[in-house]
């Protein structure tokens, strides 16, 4: 193997660690790093295409960061649109309750709008128009789903060399529901300050509208026209100064609608400023483009157009088409119920795992049905009990003397057969011969039976030894009683036998067995009243042992 190949294999191993699906992707190069982790370009050998894989490290170190990741992957699953980045796959973690990293596979984009503006000084009016059209078209889809992005900026807009743009990074997005209260506590520290709407500058308690995203799009469009940010504020006060320098001092009515008293006092005490004409601020720019920009950069949110209204502007004549501008179905409230309650790390981990399963349909179906995954390493005790019982039904009626299948893995309890016999010296061969003559028989609950919830766990001792002596220390599986019809029985005090038979009959009649029973008649010609000691499973006891084995739940993934 060449040194480059060895280095490449080492990078793949270090990047994916223990994630088995990582072998499907061939890592090519690192294209981005941040506090969240690293992004690499890779080749998907399964579909034969290039992708971007975002590895997010230690996502549960802080619940707020994990909630942000959950919000983003959920929204990107729900918002499928040509102008919104697409999640193609999320790697399945090796452990459902212990994973710390996630690998999100995106479609690969070459750059972002920040780099495009920075590196290209030869953009044409056609570029400006097409860029703004894509942004508004994607924003219309987002807003019709009742979602506010709240962090639109050039770095959160991916770009390709063919001028295709895609909106990304929905970590700060929020969903607004029709029945939400008129006032919601949303922190104003949302969009990056330079692209933050005036109503977010110091206003802590208000119900935001989609107009905050329209303002951000206006700032981005202005940056496209000039090649530099429009309002590069150093702090909130400086930001308001830059905004009022261009737009002028807001009217007293607009200031009165600001909820933050400090912001009100500051704007009221500000010297009166006159607005600067946009044609002076943006010389040599198409007048239709400036007219639309003026509509988007308005101090009052209610005066800004919606994304749909902006698309209908004459600036897009001949470009915008109704069939290219689909609307989204409103996001269901239940999808974001987690936003309204306090979440623990375990809660967020389970919700993120549930989102990951959306990209693994077969395992999602098993998860929703409560079944064990197909890749489970060890068979469950319930499955093993079913196999044993089916084996007994199939073989012993044909006279087979083979032993039922035993558990093969030492990590789970091993079942054994306990022989409750009236004959302490009966051999195992005689028991098997007797079982071959019997069918399963229903037993009737005696009127004077003593109620019991489960059978005693102690193993009856064979005082005279022999092959039939049950070994203490083994866990009981299904119960097989050996005093079957036709078996030789020893003399036992009548009172003791009746008490034990009554207790066992009570247990089996009280438990609900889901397996079909056979004809209660026996092959031998014994009396009907002697058939009450037939073969009976103990489903209730086995169920309790399964719960103990699997930690009290029936849906573990390993």
| Residue ranges of the binding site | 55
Distance CA(540)–CA(552), nearest Å, equals: 15
Q: Which of 465, 460, 506, 463 is nearest to 483 (CA)?
A: 460
- CA 463 distance to own-chain centroid: 58
Tell me the angle at which helices 539-549 and 381-395 cross, rounded to the nearest 10 degrees: 150
* In 417-521, beta strands by DSSP E: 419-420, 475-476, 480-481
User: First vs last Cα of the chain: how many Å apart?
Assistant: 34
What is the CB neighbour count within 10 angstroms for residue 249?
18
Annotated binding site for ATP: which residue ranges? Answer: 55
Q: How far from 520 is each of 385, 413, 440, CA to CA, in Å? A: 22, 32, 6
What is the CB neighbour count within 10 angstroms for residue 232?
12
List of residues 6+ apart from 544 with CB closer than 8 A:
454
Q: Using alpha carbons only, how large is the chain's radius of gyration in Å?
A: 36
Distance CA(147)–CA(159), nearest Å, equals: 22
Distance CA(67)–CA(76), nearest Å, equals: 14
Distance CA(249)–CA(236), nearest Å, equals: 16
Q: Rounded to the nearest 5 degrees, what angle is found at the Cα of 249, between the Cα atoms of 244 and 253?
A: 130
- CA 138 distance to own-chain centroid: 25
CB 514 within 8 A of CB 489: no
List of residues 6+ apart from 237 with CB closer than 8 A:
266
Q: Which of 67, 25, 43 is nearest to 355 (CA)?
A: 67
Tell me the angle at which helices 361-369 and 345-357 cross, rounded to the nearest 10 degrees: 130
- For 251, the token pair is 């009217």
CB 442 within 8 A of CB 483: no
Q: How far from 479 is each of 176, 217, 475, 496, 507, CA to CA, in Å? A: 58, 72, 11, 20, 12
Go through 181-191 and write b for each residue having 16 or more CB atoms within 10 A of its CB, e for each that does not: eeeeebebebb
**Catalytic residue ranges:** 151
Which H or E run includes 380? none
Residue with tokens 């005093």: 483
Distance CA(543)–CA(201), nearest Å, equals: 60
* In 322-430, beta strands by DSSP E: 415-416, 419-420
């Amino acid at each position: 193997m060449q040194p480059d190949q060895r280095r490449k294999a080492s990078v793949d191993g270090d990047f994916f660690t223990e994630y088995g699906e990582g072998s499907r992707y061939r890592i090519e190069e690192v294209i981005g790093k941040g506090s969240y982790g690293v992004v690499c370009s890779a080749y998907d050998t399964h579909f034969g295409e290039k992708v971007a894989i975002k590895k997010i490290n230690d996502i549960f170190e802080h619940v707020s960061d994990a909630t942000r990741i959950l919000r983003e992957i959920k929204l990107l699953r729900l918002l499928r649109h040509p102008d919104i980045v697409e999640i193609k796959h999320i790697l399945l973690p090796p452990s459902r309750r212990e994973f710390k990293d996630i690998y999100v596979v995106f479609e690969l984009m070459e750059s972002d709008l920040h780099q495009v503006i920075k590196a290209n000084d030869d953009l044409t009016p056609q570029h400006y128009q097409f860029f703004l059209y894509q942004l508004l078209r994607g924003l219309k889809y987002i807003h019709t789903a009742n979602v506010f992005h709240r962090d639109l900026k050039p770095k959160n807009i991916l770009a390709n060399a063919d001028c295709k743009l895609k909106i990304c990074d929905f970590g700060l997005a929020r969903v607004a529901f029709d029945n939400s209260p008129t006032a919601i506590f949303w922190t104003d520290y949302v969009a990056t300050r330079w692209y933050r709407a005036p109503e977010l500058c110091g206003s802590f308690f208000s119900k935001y509208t989609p107009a905050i995203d329209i303002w951000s799009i206006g700032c981005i469009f202005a940056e496209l026209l000039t090649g530099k940010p429009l309002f590069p504020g150093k702090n909130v006060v400086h930001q308001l100064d830059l905004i009022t320098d261009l737009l002028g001092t807001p009217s007293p009515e607009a200031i009165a609608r600001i909820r933050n008293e400090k912001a009100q006092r500051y704007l009221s005490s500000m010297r009166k400023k006159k607005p600067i004409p946009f044609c002076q601020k943006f010389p040599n720019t198409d007048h239709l483009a400036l007219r639309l920009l003026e509509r988007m950069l308005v101090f009052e949110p209610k005066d800004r157009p919606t994304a749909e209204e902006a698309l209908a502007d004459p600036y897009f004549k001949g470009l915008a088409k109704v069939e290219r501008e689909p609307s989204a179905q409103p996001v269901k409230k239940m999808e974001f119920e987690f936003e309204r309650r306090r979440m623990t790390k375990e809660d967020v981990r389970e919700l993120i795992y549930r989102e990951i399963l959306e990209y693994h349909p077969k395992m999602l179906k098993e998860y929703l049905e409560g079944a064990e995954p197909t890749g489970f390493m060890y068979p469950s005790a319930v499955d093993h009990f079913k196999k044993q019982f089916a084996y007994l039904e199939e073989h012993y009626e044909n006279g087979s003397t083979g032993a039922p299948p035993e558990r093969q893995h030492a990590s789970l309890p091993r079942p054994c057969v306990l022989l409750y016999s009236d004959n302490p010296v009966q051999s195992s061969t005689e028991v098997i011969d007797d079982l071959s003559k019997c069918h399963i028989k229903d037993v009737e609950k005696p009127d004077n039976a003593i109620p019991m919830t489960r059978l005693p766990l102690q193993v009856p001792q064979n005082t005279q030894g022999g092959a039939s002596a049950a070994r203490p220390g083994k866990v009981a599986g299904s119960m097989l009683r050996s005093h079957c019809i036709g078996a030789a029985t020893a003399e036992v005090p009548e009172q003791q036998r009746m008490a034990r038979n009554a207790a066992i009959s009570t247990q089996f009649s009280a438990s609900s067995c889901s397996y079909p029973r056979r004809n209660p008649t026996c092959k031998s010609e014994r009396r009907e009243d002697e058939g009450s000691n037939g073969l009976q499973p103990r489903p209730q006891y086995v169920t309790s042992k399964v719960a103990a084995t699997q930690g009290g739940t029936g849906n573990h993934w390993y």
